[in-house]
Chain A
């Protein structure tokens, strides 16, 4: 039973480039959450999606960040024009349905040079 998958595991970008992070939820899970963990800080909620819908994006920065979860394929977190402050670990979690346990993927570690 495959768990939550994320790729790439490590991503290096130069300032001003775009970063695309992908998340495939566990089989049977239709709810996806994205969290960010800055160095030496806790996990912070960014966005909650179901297939083709953004349910809650209250944790997303207003600019440069967007997320989608299309009918087919993985959920994508997109960061445009990255800055050094975007360097962090980005975790995706999936859930079968609310309220249910969220299971985390291995994360994508983004480094902005």
Chain B
């Protein structure tokens, strides 16, 4: 069973702090990794994609990938209340590009 694991949270951080979200995956054949944000009752919205080991930065977001450890993370700098949502980690299994999702980490940014 190919799995993606996330801590369900909630992860609570104060406004302006750094939020750190983590994810591990079991399929060593996975090549592509994605972070989606999902507000309650809404559809997943792509935040970041990462394909190579190392860091990838986009604005306040940084994705980190370590294939040897089978670990993906998402850092959100200067967290805002509008960042409060569930963050879904997904791995492309490489087979027909279907995505395997974690159950998501709920982030709460407090004032």
* Contact indicator B45/A43 (Cβ below 8 Å): no
Interface string of A33-62 (1 = CB under 8 A from B): 101000001111100100000011011000
Which residues of A lie under 8 Å from residue B98 when comparing CB positions? 33, 45, 48, 56, 58-59
Interface string of A70-95 (1 = CB under 8 A from B): 00000000000000000000010101
Asked whether any CB of chain A lies closer than 8 Å to the CB of B103, the reply is yes
Which residues of A lie under 8 Å from residue B45 when comparing CB positions? 104
**Which of A35, A98, A99, A101 makes the CB contact (< 8 A) with B46?**
A101
Interface string of A97-109 (1 = CB under 8 A from B): 0111111111100
Interface string of B44-61 (1 = CB under 8 A from A): 111001000000000000
* Contact indicator A55/B103 (Cβ below 8 Å): no
In the bound assembly, the distance between CA atoms of A35 and B92 in angstroms comes to: 14
A53 smallest CB distance to B (angstroms): 11
**Which of B92, B95, B101, B104 makes the CB contact (< 8 A) with A44?**
B101
B 57-108 contacts with A by CB, 8 A: 88, 90, 92, 94-104
Asked whether any CB of chain B lies closer than 8 Å to the CB of A31, the reply is yes
Which residues of A lie under 8 Å from residue B22 when comparing CB positions? none
Q: A42-B102, A43-B88, A99-B32 are known contacts. Are A104 and B43 too (CB-CB below 8 A)?
A: yes
Which residues of B lie under 8 Å from residue A107 when comparing CB positions? 42-43
Q: A43-B101, A45-B99, A55-B96 are known contacts. Are A106 and B34 too (CB-CB below 8 A)?
A: no
B33 smallest CB distance to A (angstroms): 11
In the bound assembly, the distance between CA atoms of A81 and B46 in angstroms comes to: 34
What 5 additional pairs, Cβ within 8 angstroms, besides A56-B98, A104-B44?
A31-B97, A35-B99, A101-B34, A102-B34, A103-B46
Where the two chains meet, the residues of A that have a C-beta atom closer than 8 Å to any C-beta of B are 31, 33, 35, 41-45, 48, 55-56, 58-59, 91, 93, 95, 98-107
- Listed from nearest, the 3 A-B pairs whose CB atoms lie closest are A98-B97, A42-B103, A56-B96
